[in-house]
Amino acid sequence: MTKVLILLGALITGAAPYIFEKCELARLLRRSGLEGYRGYSLANWVCLVEHESSYNTRMVGHNRRDGKTTSSDYGLFQISSQGWCDNGRTQGRGSSRNSKNKCGKICLDFINDNIADDIECVKKVVLPQGMNVWYGWKKKCQRRNLTNFLKDCNL
């Protein structure tokens, strides 16, 4: 069922993904209030996107255990269906404390070129957990000197 929803979402939103340029994304994230949000530099946010989705707005990743998909990750920030959006297997909609859909969104909402809702959701994700929930960030960005990561962007 989820594969059908993902395919349907891709058909509705258009087949070709939008791939951001690093500096283009940095400017957009800055305007959206992520620079310094919860103590994370703009370079950390862009590094996260680079290593989670390669700047691809339509990226969908699947997490597997024992050969079965346990959850999926959606969009630029790879927002997890495990607690943050509804992919058809998540129980409940909305953002109540007991809901597994803490961003109150359908996961397919995160695989389009409008990333405003993605940004609002990642702000919720990072509040209680920091950026440690993203393995790409932990492996490639955390505790790294990102001073020069955006130097070519003239921000």
pLDDT tens-digit map of 96-144 = 444 579 999 999 999 999 999 999 999 999 998 899 999 999 999 999 9
Catalytic pick among 21, 66, 73, 117: 73
Give the mean model confidence (pLDDT) for residues 5-11: 46
pLDDT band at 15 (very low <50, low <70, confident <90, very high): low
Give the mean model confidence (pLDDT) for residues 73-79: 97
- What is the torsional sign of CA 108, 111, 117, 120? positive
* Residue 50 a catalytic site member: no
pLDDT at 4: 43
Higher per-residue pLDDT: 90 or 141: 141
pLDDT at 5: 44
- Residue 8 pLDDT exceeds 70: no
* Residue 35 a catalytic site member: no
- Residue 89 pLDDT exceeds 90: no
Find the domain containing 72 and state its range: 2-153
Higher per-residue pLDDT: 103 or 65: 103
Among 105, 110, 74, 80, smallest CA distance to 92 is for 105
CA distances from 132 to 7, 35, 70, 123, 155 (A): 30, 17, 19, 13, 26
How many angstroms from the chain centroid is the CA of residue 133?
A: 11
Catalytic pick among 21, 24, 35, 52: 52
pLDDT at 65: 80
Among 17, 38, 29, 57, smallest CA distance to 149 is for 29
Quote the number of domains for the chain.
Answer: 1
Residue 138, domain CATH: 1.10.530.10
Give the mean model confidence (pLDDT) for residues 79-107: 75
